[in-house]
Amino acid sequence: MIRVFFLTVLNKYASKWIVLFIDIVLVLLSYVIAYSIRFNISFNFNTFNFTQQLPLVIFVSIFSFLLVGSYKGVIRHTGVKDAFNVFFAITIFSMTMGVLLVLNQFFTIFKNFIIPRTIILIHYLVSLFILIFSRYAFKAFYEIISTELQSITNILIYGAGDSGIITYGAITRERNNNYDVIGFIDDDPNKINKKIDGVKIYDFSKIDEGFINKNNITEIIISTQKIKRNRLLEITDKLFRLGISVKIVPPLSKWIEGDFQANQIKKINIDDLLGREQIAIENPIVKREVENKVILVTGAAGSIGSEISRQLATYNLSKLVLIDQAESPLYELQQQLLQLKKTNFVAIVADVRDKKRMTEVFEKYKPQKVFHAAAYKHVPLMEESPYEAVKINVCGTKNIADLSISYNIERFVMISTDKAVNPTNVMGATKRVAEKYIGCLSKQKSSTKFTVTRFGNVLGSNGSVIPLFKKQIEVGGPLTVTHKEITRFFMTIPEACRLVLEAGTMGIGGEIYIFDMGKSIKIFDMAKRMISLSGLKYPDDIDIKITGLRPGEKLYEELLANGEDTTKTYHEKIMIAKTQEMDVELIRSEIINLCLNHSESSDLQIVQKIKKIVPEYISNNSIFEKLDNNL
């Protein structure tokens, strides 16, 4: 209560006049000290003359402080400028006293005004020290009082290198954070038990529940620029089990103008825990290949298509043509680009399955490059609707690919999926059929270069597991996972789209590009991390429910089909899949037949035709398994 009263008085009633009054009192105190020092640390001096001088000292000090305005500064925010103002005011005071002393010797303005010259000098030094020191002492006292009234967060900083030291400095400078850095953590045995600015460096292996409880640690900030993602996973998993909040310092490239501020420390998120290095592809060839070109993007309103569109919009295109049959998402993308002051684009509501409509678009805009992202991608839904899967994933792709040849498109880039590899479901199988059709066209003589890119799962895409987990956490759970051992490859949407743009410049056509996506991630482990990242505990706060594999769902995804291998490209993270030889004319005719006759076929007949085109397609946990048994 006393502290609260003290702070209230300071914040509301500590006016500049009180500061002025205290400064004058300190000047008088300094005057007494100066006399005492002058007379050998004693009071053996003429006290009558001393008391006669005090009114003049008060008057001159008031004059000096009013002239400079040093009393106007907010004491609890004292800085270098405030110290300089005090120095200036005391200098004026001492000079004025010195001038008056000299004048009085010649004209006897004041009686009994006899001041040893050394008093002026001693008083100058003493008062300067006391006034500046008092301000900083008051500031420190205020900070101590205010900090004790607020909740203090005891933290550890992981990383005792340059980044960790910079983070420590930023935290200690920023008082509003109320952080108390208990120690550093590092894996380097040469640093363990040493100190940085008096703060001890601990071995990470020693950070256990006992240490956390003893020091009341509630948060750990990871501040190292070179940490490997696998190590980051190990660290965060251990800390989550200890019930500690984990934050991370952003990469050096994201520091504001090269300077790090404490408010840039952010909560660690699922993107940071991919278990793989995020890859930024910077290629000037992309700029050269797309600038001043008309580029068409199908499925432009989807997760991948919209990011491709946003990245393409940053270049100096002749025209960006955005195609999607989903009206509202396309409108949202249009508004985003307009807010970014992009005007060299057109958003068209159209369906890639409608060849007449697509022909009109190609004829009007005459695109030079096509990025084909339009597709149905939800495995359970497509397992129920093979007709729709074929119509968009196969026939829609065929329409755009055929038009690309007819209109002499320079490059056609198709976005495929790892589910097309040894497919076990309708969605993956139709994407594999589309891949094969593109492969057939690439064997023909045409000026169009065809490219396929295969992706794993993308974080944050529509219908992906991450948004689903977030929604389930918001309603209190449980999180649903189909199998405890199920794994998936993951990348971020911007990464995936950088790859698409890169693929649009590589090769001679006919290649299937795959990405080095690192290790696959257990969905069950990801679910536990999502719970921890939300500040909750598994299973106490939110449980995870195993629901069983869905129709057509794989336990493990693959990036290469049976019989496929890879060759390197000039980028170490991008590889080309060596595809199997196929009878081009036979496969092409079967795909054309599938598109022509699928509307008159039953689901079983459609899937049977797909299995003929894609022999490695073996259904899993699906009603179509009986077709495999009959083969």
* Sequence-ordered alpha helix ranges (H) in 419-576: 426-443, 465-474, 493-503, 523-533
Q: How many Cα atoms occupy the beta-carbon half-sphere of 379 within 13 Å? A: 23
Residue 519 to residues 48, 338, 456, 487, Cα–Cα distance (Å) = 89, 38, 11, 10
Report whether 141 contacts 6 (CB < 8 A): no
Q: Comparing C-alpha atoms, which of 136, 100, 135, 132 is closest to residue 119?
A: 100
Residues 6+ apart with CB under 8 A from 259: none
Q: Comparing C-alpha atoms, which of 557, 566, 333, 312 is closest to residue 457?
A: 557
**Residue in 191, 369, 377, 419 annotated catalytic:** 419
User: Angle, to 10 degrees, between the axis of helix 426-443 and the axis of helix 397-406?
Assistant: 10
Q: How many Cα atoms occupy the beta-carbon half-sphere of 160 within 13 Å? A: 25
Helix (H, G, I), strand (E, B) or coil at 562: coil
User: What is the sign, positive or negative, of the torsion defined by CA atoms of 12, 17, 19, 21?
Assistant: negative
Report whether 407 contacts 357 (CB < 8 A): no
Sheet holding 319-324, edge to edge: 345-349, 319-324, 294-298, 369-372, 411-417, 449-455, 511-515, 574-578, 565-568
Q: CA geometry: angle at 347 spanning 341 and 351, to 5°?
A: 160
Q: How far apart are CA 13 and CA 208, in angstroms?
A: 48
Residue 232 to residues 223, 297, 412, 485, Cα–Cα distance (Å) = 11, 37, 38, 21
Q: How far apart are CA 576 and CA 311, in angstroms?
A: 24
CB-count burial class (<10 Å; 0-12, 13-18, 19+) for 452: buried
Task: Report CA dihedral (382, 597, 411, 456) to the nearest 10 degrees.
Answer: 20
Residue 573 designated active-site: no
Q: How far apart are CA 555 and CA 502, in angstroms?
A: 30
Catalytic residues: 419
